[in-house]
Structure 1
Amino acid sequence: MQRPVGVVRVTSNRYIAGRRLSGLPHRRSTESDYDLSHRALSILRPPEELAMLYPIVDLDPRDLDELIAISQREGFAMVSRLQADYVSGLNRFDQPGERLFAWIESGRWLAVGGLNIEVHPQFADAGRIRRLYVGPDHRRRGIGRALVGAIVMHGRGAFRQFTCRVGPIQARGFYERLGFLPVAAERVTHVFEPGWPDDVRTPRET
């Protein structure tokens, strides 16, 4: 198993996302680096429940089986598609700037989400958030926010903006509370622009 991004302590809804977060108090966790300014995410880690956020480099597809069963009971297919695409080699989150993340507690995968290069021509310098899913018993704990924060921070050296395609209405509210803005584009519903320094370059520019 990969080393965790960091030890993250969470309580329900004790996270902040905003547009200008410079100077907000925060506590850094081991190996984590979520500090952003301007419109990027800031993740506070109050003490209570211990959890782990891992970057996944070499996925064992069987690790997704429990999440697949849970998501399918809700009528969602994103985790099963993640597994199928990984097994087939169609998408292994292994291109420049890409990465898959998982929230794992006591060996159980509670949430997953990843970052791909966006192929939409309107967003040529963007990373695309893909296959984000948090099990229903573990929502409203800040896990989704932490996943998005890890994804954005991982992509900061590669992408100027981040896109996603959101279906359920309740999920749209989640992304919009994090600062994602609705857009009218084919296969893209929201975009987030952190405001990186000008020296950031995408994989296609270097």
Structure 2
Amino acid sequence: MPRILIAIVLAAGVTLGLFYLMQALIKSGDQALSEPSKGSVLDFVRVKKDEVTEQKQRKPRKPPKPEQPPPDMPQPEMDLASSDPLSSGYDFAADVAADVSLEGGLALESGDGEYLPIVKVSPVYPRRALSRGIEGYVIVEFTVTKQGSVSNPTVIEAEPAGIFEQAAVDAALKFKYKPRVINGEAAEVAGVQNRISFQIDG
């Protein structure tokens, strides 16, 4: 029983002490907020020295002159080469100077409006003839259309027969012409003949 009384008294004392301490802290906090802080404040201002910047004018240097002029680039040739993979190492030429029209005479006349060849494709050399070293020629006859293309190619003569005909017809179908113009309108030209030679060079 006396222990309980002692504990109650101590607890009451501690509680009162805490209340007192809290009251003191509250008062001191209000005073710290209301009163200005004592002391002096020094302001430091840094003054920069006058700086003089020197500007240098730089002139661009002239590029040095080349010692040697660049070489002239070769102009690409307009003639198309053969696309046969077996024809590497060989030059195959199609004779394109024999365009002859049975109706209108020579195709390469100097008269205005006459049809002119623009693209002549070299024929694909047949594998059998290439492997055996056979050479020859084919004369093909066809019609130059109003659009400048070739239609209805037929074989007139072939030497040797049965070897180069199909390759010559395929090449002729890829020829392109400037069509003949009569009275301001394009016209077909029938009976044009072309000799296509098959030769192995090299």
Query: What TM-score do you get using the length of structure 2 for normalisation?
Result: 0.27
More contact order relative to length (CA 8 Å, sep ≥ 6): 2
